[in-house]
Amino acid sequence: MRNKHVIDLEDLSAKELIDIIQLSNEIQNHPKDYADACKGKILATLFYEPSTRTQMSFKTAMLRLGGSVIGFDNPQNSSVSKGESLKDTITVVGGYTDIIAIRHPLEGTAKAASMYSAAPVINAGDGGHLHPTQTLTDIVTLYNEKGSLENMTIGLCGDLKNGRTVHSLIKTMRHFKNNRFVLISTPELGVPQYIKDVMNSSDCKYVEVPSLIEAMPMLDVLYMTRIQRERFASEEEYEREKGVFVLDKEKLLSAKKDLKILHPLPRVDEITVEVDYDERAKYFIQTVYGMYARMALIKTMLDQDNRSVPPLINDTHNVKCSNPRCITAGESYLPKLFRSVGGDMLVCKYCDSRTLI
């Protein structure tokens, strides 16, 4: 792998992604051959935000590879509750362990953590920003259930604004030939500008539509997402958005016979339970693929033996990120890191939000 950390799936080339998919399938088919693959290695799972699948699949992945696991699933039970900074927590945990998986409600946290960790860091979800190992899960599912990662019309439905799994999936699928996106959301929950910029800068096509029924007949894949109560500023805003898009048996009547329905889960009410029994529903097998995908990722990263003392990083600009949900808003010592996109506009290297100079 060309990079030490996996913060964004952009950190992996298309070939590296295919290698991980193939290793994931190899491990799934021959689990005994990998039972000691990470013997003597330790994974830290630092979850500052609730999780079932990501946390437990990382843990089971490491245990099934013969390694061990430490960490917390509630920062209140750690010295974070005494005011310890992210930098100090990561510096210490990076000294104890061989690899770290971190989830945090603030955007750009995994990137910030990687700047202080001797051990490689995996982004297990940073606020509404990115969720690369969910995308790994999704592409392993697509590869196995569709037989290819190319030539698909992929519908993405629900909260496309705060849906980190959606952002990571779009960024990744545009690297494979001839994929097209149908973005199904209310105007308030459309994809952020930086994801549109990403799509516009590649040759992948996208359309934005307000209706799931209208989109259904053209889809090869339907990726449903939850309206995430925890991402809304007020309960009123959440109440306005929830329940707008619900997938049920009736809506599937016009769908293709070989449609694949994915969902990162957890689900609330956006897919009715009756759909679980439709053979096109793949969201539970998706969780199983996710465990093998994380096994493949952990093994690949640990095989590199890439511990290194992180260097000091200086500010690139003397500007504050305008995103209140950026990790730089919570951890003020972090260097101010931006890339220029022309004119008076800068893009924050932690959270990808735009800031005017």
Residues that bind ligand CP (CB under 6 A): 51-55, 125, 134, 264-266
Angle (deg, nearest 10), helices 283-303 and 132-146 = 120
Q: 54 or 89, CB closer to ligand CP?
A: 54
Q: 185 or 228, CB closer to ligand CP?
A: 228
Which residues, including other chains, have CB under 8 Å from residue 77's CB and lie 6 or more apart?
Answer: none
Q: 101 or 215, CB closer to ligand CP?
A: 101
End-to-end CA distance of the chain: 35
Give least dist CB 225 to ligand CP, A: 10
Give least dist CB 242 to ligand CP, A: 18
How far apart (Å, rounded) are the C-alpha atoms in residues 134 and 142? 12
C-alpha of 236 from chain center: 27
Q: 31 or 50, CB closer to ligand CP?
A: 50
Q: Omega into 266 within 30° of 0, i.e. cis?
A: yes
Q: 204 or 265, CB closer to ligand CP?
A: 265
Give least dist CB 239 to ligand CP, A: 22
Give least dist CB 197 to ligand CP, A: 25
How far apart (Å, rounded) are the C-alpha atoms in residues 296 and 191? 30
Amino acid 205 reads K
Of 53, 62, 59, nearest to 72 (Cα)? 59
Helix (H) or strand (E) holding 342: none
How far apart (Å, rounded) are the C-alpha atoms in residues 341 and 192? 16
How far apart (Å, rounded) are the C-alpha atoms in residues 83 and 157? 38
Q: 155 or 264, CB closer to ligand CP?
A: 264
How far apart (Å, rounded) are the C-alpha atoms in residues 160 and 170? 11
Q: 134 or 353, CB closer to ligand CP?
A: 134
Q: 158 or 264, CB closer to ligand CP?
A: 264
Give least dist CB 47 to ligand CP, A: 8
Give least dist CB 264 to ligand CP, A: 4
Which residues, including other chains, have CB under 8 Å from residue 119's CB and lie 6 or more apart?
Answer: 44, 93, 94, 97, 98, 99, 100, 307
Of 116, 148, 124, nearest to 21 (Cα)? 148
Give least dist CB 356 to ligand CP, A: 33
Q: Is 321 left (phi over 0), alpha (psi -120 to 50) or beta?
A: beta
Pull the structure tokens for residue 68: 């061990």
Q: 287 or 355, CB closer to ligand CP?
A: 287
Give least dist CB 137 to ligand CP, A: 8
Give least dist CB 214 to ligand CP, A: 27
Residues in the chain: 357
